[in-house]
Structure 1
Amino acid sequence: MSENKRLLDDESEAFSKAARVKYFNIVVDSGKGATITDADGRMYIDLLASASSTNTGHSHPHIVKAIQDQAAKLIQYTPAYFANNPEVKLAPRLAKLAPISGPVELAWGNSGSDANDAVIKFSRAYTGRPYIVSFTGAYHGSTYGSISISSVSLNMSRKIGPLLPDVVKVPYPDPWQRLKGESDDDFVDRMFKAFKQPFETYLPAEEVAAIVIEPIQGDGGIVKAPTAYINKVVEFAHENGILFAVDEVNQGMGRSGKWWSIEHFDVEPDLMVVGKSLASGMPLSAVIGRKDIMESLNAPANVYTTAGNPVTTAAAMATLDVMEDEHLVERSARLGEKATEFFNQEKSKFKFIGGFRMYGLDGGIDIVDRKTGEPDPEATTKLIYRVFELGAIIISLRGNILRFQPPLVITDEQLDQAFGMLDQAFSELEAGKLTLPDNADEIGW
């Protein structure tokens, strides 16, 4: 019996099925840079980056040393009552990086989930209004507040209601869902009309506290909203005293070729949420916003015993060092161009690649039926499993979208190796050589 199987069999007796989206039956044992190694000693090129939470790669020496040095000095004393040395240095450094003009403040959390909860709390407190508007296809987290504004899987609402009240969801403007012959301008007009419909029928704008959006949706398919649409939404928000909040948990920290995905648009948020790669995967998040908004609540309205603890904030300080010293934002943009060239070539060769999007090292590749052009989840599962067999980790979103998010430190050579594996899997699918794994019905969202 393999070590992977033995460990997973032991875990299965004690682990809830609600706590993991199934893909491959491995136990990750170690990682270095853009590779991970499982319990059987097999190495994989990581094209997922731990769900975009290890943008600086696995076990970066500078970050490891920062964690080790801080752990030897002080692991935890609750920031709920007292500041700690790395935390007081990180707060102004991170606030300065935020794409928000004027005085900026932040509050710590443990995950993107509780940071999105904080957006709800601060926006309601500042505006004195109850309603929150979010978008279909969104993934904001799994706490009751963040899951209430999410809309990417029925299992995030099935059997767990009632969810947070006064949340209204509107359609996300996915440009890949344009009608046949529809121009970009007509698409934006149609989607903005759908956005305004609740406000014109049952949702008083003067009772809405915030509009929360992923400028580039992550788990919704790696999809960037049209700039013209975002501009219209921001203008509407400002005209009606509504706060504009962005979720940068998945798409921030250089993932899209810029520090923050909102920087692809000529707008500023009032509030933003960061997490995942902020501390290279250590449990740390932050809600960042205009000072007047962040001063609208008093403690303990957003206090957590471990949020902003010494080890996680030391890791975040080191993460920012690596991002800056190794120019990872620029590297993401450069390697994203290389990936775009590769997928363009593959699309010209294989009709089942219906389209793709690449923003820095941040891509979604649509796998479709060759004849109908409709989404093909079965072919997608065959592909991700074959790529896994060949030695790389890539997963699917929305059934038929390949999620391409390698660590930003991936080398050109490793990227070329991954492209070779993908091309082989695509070629074998085209030749009818791929089969579904035995547990295909369990795989994916």
Structure 2
Amino acid sequence: MVEDTNRSLLTKEAAALSPATRVKYYDIVIDHGNGATITDADGKTYIDLLASASSTNTGHAHPHIVAAITKQAQKLIQYTPAYFANEPAAKLAPRLAALAPISGPVKLAWGNSGSDANDAIIKFARAYTNRQYVVSFTGAYHGSTYGSLTTSAVSLNMSRKIGPLLPGVVKVPYPDPWQRLANESEDAFVDRLFRAFKQPFETYLPAEEVAVILIEPIQGDGGIVKAPTSYLKKVYDFAHEHGILFAVDEVNQGLGRTGKWWSIENFEGLEPDLMSVGKSLASGLPLSVVMGKAPIMDALGSPAHTFTAAGNPVTTAAALATLDVIENEHLIERSALLGQRAQAFFENEQKQFAFIGDVRMYGLNGGIDIVDPITGLSDATATTKLIYRVFELGAIIISLRGNVLRFQPPLVITEDELTQAFSILHQAFTELAAGTLELPNNASEIGW
């Protein structure tokens, strides 16, 4: 019998899979994973520096989580939480609510993905405020359902040919480093971007008709970019001044990724009214929540946000086990510590290689810009050469915005594995500097 290989499986799949469902990077089929490594159908093992888009913060096939899933599946796989409670979900709800960075009584609603959790923010905010408008930011990735897709602004293929999108959504510029002018101080940058934020409110968007401002405090797919604290404080104060809810998307950056439970905790004194959580909540199984202040979450009745499988016994059992692992293995502290080590590595490489531009690291979670050494502008070609060489050398890393290396390994990565990853990255950087790297044949297909 001929064994399935990467090539044979991808050939079989190609005839049946829509191209809309996958961002192209490497021609591999993941067969299994363990901790911070994954192995493809050809038997090649890679160090995982992506953590399944930050949805496996606890790593692959963690024994405690596998045991919890197995035990629950043997007991009850599914009975719709839309009608009846189940034991794991009933235990998880108050445990999650207690972890929310929100004062006062907190309630939540289940979903299947970060996308529908961000849809829920729109639903609950509109219901509570009796207002229609939603403000989001350029560079955002909130998901692919119609509401979350409308609030996103990271790829034209999220709006091309599928409009009209959700009405009542207004986008403003996110304060990312690519908008910083030469010799512009951070205070001047913040003031300029906040003026741009206010412009819609001063020209065509009545603040008293805005329900919610939705933001990633640290953008994920937008390039791993942290908003300046003073900027976010201005937006936060503006929202409260005008009775607008302040909502944060923690799907990519939550659950220890930034060295804290939630990315908003990197901004002292800012407390969301609503927040979305997904991805690593159940270590990659389909589970999400929207959490918020109780009066807001009481603004809707069923079935305004019910799903057949959302909050089912297996995914919520996995989430309980995930929280156990994060707490018992001190993954938040580990993220902060290993993030410092990663930052030191990339900053040292930055001194050696002129094509390494800005280095942003928040916990074990970084964006590294690859630029043209002469112009300082983004260099997507060099980035594609780099990520493909890293792949050939035995690690998985991808690009964002064409020229940003996305560095998000599982938080359980060992120090030896991290050292190996640094060695691979250094070799790829050295070869790029020497001019020996070539583009792969399918370079035009790679990336967002």
- Structure 2: how far apart are the matches of 1:340 and 1:20? 30
C-alpha distance in 2 between matches for 1:297 and 1:245: 17
- Distance in 2 (CA, whole Å) between partners of 1:194 and 1:69 is 53
Q: Letter of the aligned partner of 2:380 in structure 1?
A: P
Aligned to 2:58: 56
| TM-score (normalised: structure 1) | 0.99
Quote the Cα distance in structure 2 between the aligned partners of 1:57 and 1:105.
Answer: 28
For 2:411 and 2:179, locate their aligned partners in 1 and report how far apart those are by CA, in whole Å. Answer: 29
Q: Does 1:295 align with 2:295?
A: no
Structure 1 residue aligned with 2:77: 75
C-alpha separation between the residues in 2 aligned to 1:85 and 1:135? 38
The residue type equivalent to 1:414 in the other structure is E
Output the CA distance in 2 between the equivalents of 1:364 and 1:11. Answer: 32
Indicate yes or no: 2:254 matched with 1:252. yes
The aligned residue for residue 18 of structure 2 is: 16
Answer whether contact 1:175 1:225 (CA < 8 A) is retained. no
Q: CA contact under 8 A between 1:90 and 1:313: conserved in structure 2? A: yes
Aligned mates of 2:344, 2:132 — CA distance in 1 = 46
Q: Which of residues 174, 189, 192 is equivalent to 2:191?
A: 189
Q: Deviations over 1:233-281 (max 9, x none)?
A: 0100000000000000000000011100000012000000000000000
Q: In the aligned structure 1, how far is the partner of 2:246 from the partner of 2:143?
A: 18
Alpha-carbon separation, structure 1, partners of 2:73 and 2:398? 34
What are the Cα deviations for residues 414-439 of structure 1, in whole angstroms up to 9, with x where unaligned?
00000000000000000000000000
Among 90, 93, 98, the residue aligned to 1:91: 93
Q: Is 1:263 the counterpart of 2:271 in the alignment? A: no
1:40 pairs with one of 36, 39, 42: 42
Structure 1 residue 209: deviation in Å?
0.1
**Once the two structures are superposed, what CA deviation does each residue of 1:328-359 show, in whole Å capped at 9, x if it has no partner?**
00000000000011001100000000111000
Q: Which residue of 2 aligns with 1:153?
A: 155
Q: CA separation in 2, counterparts of 1:430 and 1:2?
A: 38
Structure 1 counterpart of 2:289, from 286, 289, 309: 286
> Cα RMSD over matched residues?
0.7
CA distance in structure 1 between the aligned counterparts of 2:425 and 2:177, rounded to whole angstroms = 25
Distance 1:284 1:321 in 2: 16
Tell me if the contact between 1:382 and 1:436 (Cα under 8 Å) persists in the aligned partners: yes
Q: 1:115 aligns with which of 117, 129, 135?
A: 117
Rounded to whole Å, the distance in 2 between the matches of 1:270 and 1:241 is: 11
Q: Which secondary structure does the structure 2 equivalent of 1:81 belong to?
A: coil
Which structure 1 residue ranges, 5 or more long, are not aligned? none
Superposed, 1:292-331 pairs within 5 Å as 292-331=295-334
- Deviation at 1:58? 0.1
Q: How does 1:129-148 map to 2 (within 5 A)?
A: 129-148=131-150
- Structure 2 counterpart of 1:100: 102
Give, in angstroms, the shift of residue 175 of structure 1.
3.2
Match in the other structure for 2:338: 335
2:444 to 427, 438, 441: 441
Q: Distance between the aligned counterparts of 1:176 and 1:201, measured in 2?
A: 26
Identity %: 75
Q: Quick one: which amino acid aligns to residue 38 of structure 2?
A: I
In the TM superposition, structure 1's runs of 4+ consecutive aligned residues that sit over 4 Å from their partners are none
> Which segments of 5 or more consecutive residues in structure 2 lack a partner in the other structure?
none
1:358 aligns with 361
Report the counterpart of residue 238 of structure 2 in structure 1: 236
Determine the C-alpha separation between the residues in 1 that align with 2:387 and 2:157.
22
**1:176 offset after TM fit, Å?**
4.5
Q: Would the aligned equivalents of 1:175 and 1:226 in 2 still touch at CA under 8 Å?
A: no
**What is the SS of the residue equivalent to 2:299?**
coil
Please show how residues 171-210 of structure 1 align to structure 2 within 5 Å. Answer: 171-210=173-212
Question: CA 1:2–1:438 in structure 2 vs 1: closer, same or farther (change >3 Å)?
Answer: farther
**Structure 1 residues 380-399: aligned runs within 5 Å:** 380-399=383-402
Secondary structure, counterpart of 2:82 in structure 1: coil
Distance 1:183 1:389 in 2: 41
Instruction: For 2:376, give the aligned amino acid.
Output: G
**Mapped partners of 2:177, 2:427: distance in 1:** 29
